[in-house]
Amino acid sequence: MESRLIDNTIAYVKEVFATDFSGHDYFHTMRVYKMATKLALQEHADVQMVQLAALLHDVDDRKLSPETCVNKDRAVTFMQSQNLSEVTIEEIKEMIGEVSFAGTDSVVPKTLEGKCVQDADRLDALGAMGIARAFAYGGNHNRIMYDPEIKPILHMDKEEYENHVSTTVNHFYEKLFLLKDMMNTESAKVIAKHRERYMKEYIDEFMDEWEGLK
């Protein structure tokens, strides 16, 4: 039953994200699913709860489906179709609601399972994959890569962050370089340290090439 449930969920998210090219695609979901599973095993969390929340964490994302975001309608409808209990559905729904970065209003998940999912999602915004996703999202939303006249804005709250339009390079300072210190699990902290170091080396190289120093 458990294996069939996960297989059905994977098939569902593959269909949902078939036409997404913003960096929040099916493959992002699968990377979060795999990393969340790894963290759950290392941290001794409930693996199936973590897997379900990881797979469904973006189906009602504000940027992708604003009309279903508040009540997590897509995730709830799917879980009901799989005959999950109302208790499980509410737990998964709450975990999904805790995942997103919201500036200074970001929350720490209440459960270990929620922490594993949030960490996995944030880890996919770091490292080589994080760099690729940042520029994919920026291009998909017609954002310029960099403008030295536009300075990053730090310490934004949720409303400011969600309404803020900036450059892709500024996004590294406004969000991505904050994530390492926001990791919840010890397992994720180790991975985040390595990935952030790689990103900072990339930005140093980017700036040198921008200025024609290399």
Show the domain range for 131: 2-210
- The CATH number of residue 100's host domain is 1.10.3210.50
Q: Residue 104 has what pLDDT?
A: 93
Stretch among 21-30, 73-82, 125-134 having the lowest mean pLDDT: 21-30
176 pLDDT more than 70: yes
The pLDDT confidence band at residue 23, using thresholds 50, 70 and 90, is confident
The model's pLDDT over 129-172, given as tens digits with 9 standing for 90+, comes to 999 999 999 998 899 999 999 999 999 999 999 899 899 999 99
pTM of the shown model: 0.95
> How many domains does the chain fold into?
1
The pLDDT confidence band at residue 19, using thresholds 50, 70 and 90, is confident
The pLDDT confidence band at residue 64, using thresholds 50, 70 and 90, is confident
Q: Residue 66 has what pLDDT?
A: 86
d(CA 33, CA 47) in angstroms, rounded, equals 10
Instruction: Of 75, 20, 68, 31, give the one whose Cα is nearest residue 53.
Output: 75
Q: Residue 1 has what pLDDT?
A: 46
195 pLDDT more than 90: yes
The model's pLDDT over 91-141, given as tens digits with 9 standing for 90+, comes to 999 999 999 999 999 999 999 999 999 999 999 999 999 999 999 999 988
- Considering the chain, what is the average pLDDT of its residues? 95
Q: Residue 63 has what pLDDT?
A: 79
CA separation, residue 65 to residues 62, 70, 110, 174 (Å): 5, 10, 25, 23
Instruction: Give the CA angle between residues 64, 67, 70 to the nearest 5°.
Output: 95
Q: Residue 131 has what pLDDT?
A: 98
